[in-house]
A and B are shown apart, each in its own frame.
Chain A
Amino acid sequence: MTGPIASSQSPISVRELTGRRLARFRSGDVLVLIAFLMLAAIVICALIPATLAPYPPNQQEITLRLLPPGWMSRGDSAHLLGTDQLGRDLLSRVIHGARISLIVGLSALAISGIIGVAIGLLAGYYRGWLDDWIMRLADVQLAIPYVLLAIAIIAVIGPSNVNVVLVLTVNGWVVYARLARGQALSLREREFIQAYRALGARDWRIVLQHILPNLLSAVIVVASLELAGIITLESSLSFLGLGIQPPTVSWGYMLADGRTYLLGGAWWVVTFPGLAITATILSINVLADWLRDVLDPRLKI
């Protein structure tokens, strides 16, 4: 809460959220621009990898194995980022790796978001035992450290690309459910909702038409903040061999694969995919923060 001073200040007109803010650029926004360009580049890699990559990602050339990056003395400019232990071009693999990370990440985000919001709305709107049980389930799930839970589930259902999305969804639904539930709880007591109910409006209509729209901007902010975590978890699982399976090219797996050669001095096999993951996560984080500032800085998420 701002103190007594704030109300008597109001030196400028009330800050209008989306429109005006988007138009005004400040120094912090340079970083946002960079993040946006970085993410755009990654998305382009995900969309047209075959066009951008100089080589097919799984093409092996044993004679050219473990070449350092192009600019170094023993390197070959034909392989700008070097090659891995099977002679596969690193740049091409990094470019191809973007696709699966983004697909898995966005799918998990969308599914966990939809399911989480739906569950939360049900819990908040109907309350009673449904609400109790759902919230207890959430609490219990959160009592299990999430990495362990993820790998335990994979251990049972087996590693596969689809199962990764499943596990990420299981990991992610709670935060949306809590958000939606909170919103449903606070709105259901409001008079306009009660008026609609008195008029005989159907429940699902009330939820969809009146409660959901109020939720949207918060959900978008939370989702953008969650995306980074999802990609991190996915690449961690892939690193452990429990995530994206070869022959699909994934950055996490590339790191696991190249690990042994690190000790022999081949640092590039591990550095570039790691850099790609970091760049992705960093740009998402920066954009998510910016999005939160634009949509509602008071959200306190």
Chain B
Amino acid sequence: MWRYIRRRLMLAVLTFWAVSTIVWGLLYLTGDPVAVLLAGTPAGQTDVEQLRHELGFDQPLPIQYVHFLGGAVHGDLGKSLRSGEPALQLVSRRVGFTVQLAILAMSLALLVSLPVGIVSATLRGSLTDRTLMLLTMVGQSMPIFWVGLLMIAVFAVELRWFPAGGAGGIKYLILPAATLALYPMARIARLVRSSLVDVLNQDYILAARARGLREALVVGKHALKNAALPVVTIVALQFGYMLGGAVITETIFGWPGIGLFTVTAIHERDFPVVQAAVVLASGMFIVLNFLVDLLYGWLDPRIRFS
């Protein structure tokens, strides 16, 4: 098990390094990073050269990379072109909002999807099952921005139960969380169902029944634990995507998390901020995956003892 953990940890660190490098490299995609930074603004040739020198883009590429790495290790990912503040700090201030949103959304999603998936699996083939699966199919097909706008139209404009945007108390969080929760809710419900159905077809379930166990025990103990394994992976993945900015949701509801901040930064061409946001979000995602690897190792004895 310890070998497993060590390997996973090393992998996580390496991946993070590689991600940072790729994000750093993004600016060079079109060849001239300064052109990208200044796109759309009128700038004379001298201004361009001055900026190039100021930001160190006139140095040889490897030197630039070393500078970047050096700074990154100390938490310096450049400064915002708009405000001059350190980009990473700016972004980290918003992380808390996104995390709140993600946690509430995932809790909501699990609250609904787990029972729905279990019920569907145990009532497999029935009208209830088919109806629930149809609903989840629809839920998975609705684009998140439309869902958000519909939520606003119904709950904010028509019914006036919740505000249409902004931040404040918990009531500002409800609609965005519900919006963000819909897709994972549908996806996880379907996955729980299919995972459970697969498991219920296994020999060890038949063997458990043959031992005289009550059905509730067969499903509740044996089936659920085995079915949990793939579900855990997907739940973590979806949570990671939520942490990755919940970009659309935050944009629609004006929720001040890193997603909205990144989009704003893009429109203002504030690249260091964009880069810092991507690095931070990826970092959180990588940490999350590492924790899930640990959890998986603990849940599945085949990994724990091998």
Q: Are B203 and A3 in contact (CB under 8 A)?
A: yes
**Contacts A140-B19, A232-B143 given; does A146 touch B275 at CB 8 Å:** no
Interface size on B, residues (CB 8 A): 59
Chain A residues in 8 Å Cβ range of B153:
262, 267, 270-271
Q: A3-B201, A236-B248, A263-B157 are in contact. Are A152 and B275 (CB under 8 A)?
A: yes
B198-213 vs A, CB cutoff 8 Å, 1 = contact: the mask equals: 0001110010000000
Indicate if the CB atoms of A156 and B26 lie closer than 8 Å. Answer: yes
A213 located at the interface, meaning its Cβ lies under 8 Å from any Cβ of chain B in the complex: no
State which of B36, B146, B206 has its C-beta within 8 Å of the C-beta of A255: B146
Task: Confirm or deny: B45 has a beta carbon within 8 angstroms of a beta carbon on chain A.
Answer: no
Residues of B contacting A128 in the complex (Cβ-Cβ under 8 angstroms): none
Q: Does B68 contact A (CB under 8 A)?
A: no
**Residue B23 CB within 8 A of the other chain:** yes
Check if A148 sits within 8 Å of B26, measured CB to CB: no
For the complex, is B263 an interface residue (Cβ under 8 Å from A)?
Answer: yes
In contact, A149 and B278 (Cβ under 8 angstroms)? yes
Say whether A286 faces chain B, with CB atoms less than 8 Å apart. yes
Per a CB cutoff under 8 Å, which of A147, A157, A232 touches B244?
Answer: A147
Cβ A270 vs Cβ B146 within 8 A? yes
Flag whether A265 is at the interface (Cβ < 8 A): yes
**For chain A residues 238-296, which have a beta carbon within 8 Å of chain B?**
239-242, 252, 255-256, 259, 262-263, 265, 267, 270-271, 274-275, 277-278, 281-282, 285-286, 289
A62 CA / B138 CA spacing, docked (Å):
36
Residues of A within 8 A of B274 (CB): 152, 155
B250 → A minimal CB distance (Å): 11
In B26-40, which residues have CB < 8 Å from any A CB? 26-27, 29-30, 36, 39
Given contacts A242-B266, A281-B141, are A148 and B164 in contact (CB under 8 A)? no
Q: How far is the CB of B144 from chain A (nearest CB, A)?
A: 7
Does B10 touch A at the CB level, under 8 Å? no
Chain A residues, CB < 8 A from B289: 143
**A138 vs B149: C-alpha distance when bound (angstroms):** 34
A228 to B140, CA, bound (A): 10
Greatest chain B CB density within 10 A among A143, A252, A289 is at A143
Q: Kindly identify, within residues 1 to 49 of chain B, every residue whose CB is under 8 Å from any CB belonging to chain A.
A: 15-16, 18-19, 22-23, 26-27, 29-30, 36, 39
Instruction: Tell whether A4 is near chain B: CB-to-CB under 8 Å.
Output: yes
Tell me which of B52-60, B79-87, B279-287 binds A. B279-287
Give the residues in chain A near B164, CB-CB below 8 Å. Answer: 263
Contacts of B149 in A (CB 8 A): 255, 259, 262, 270, 274
Q: Using CB atoms, name the residue of chain B closest to A259.
A: B149
Q: Does chain B have a CB within 8 A of A203? A: no
Q: Are B143 and A145 in contact, CB atoms less than 8 angstroms apart?
A: no
CB atoms of A143 and B145 under 8 A apart? no
A155-B274, A255-B146, A259-B252 given; name 7 further pairs at CB < 8 Å: A139-B15, A143-B289, A144-B285, A145-B240, A152-B262, A267-B153, A282-B138
Question: Which residues of B pack against A, CB within 8 Å?
Answer: 15-16, 18-19, 22-23, 26-27, 29-30, 36, 39, 130, 134, 137-138, 140-146, 149-150, 152-153, 156-157, 164, 201-203, 206, 240-241, 243-245, 247-248, 251-252, 259, 262-263, 266-267, 269, 271, 274-275, 277-278, 281-282, 285-286, 289
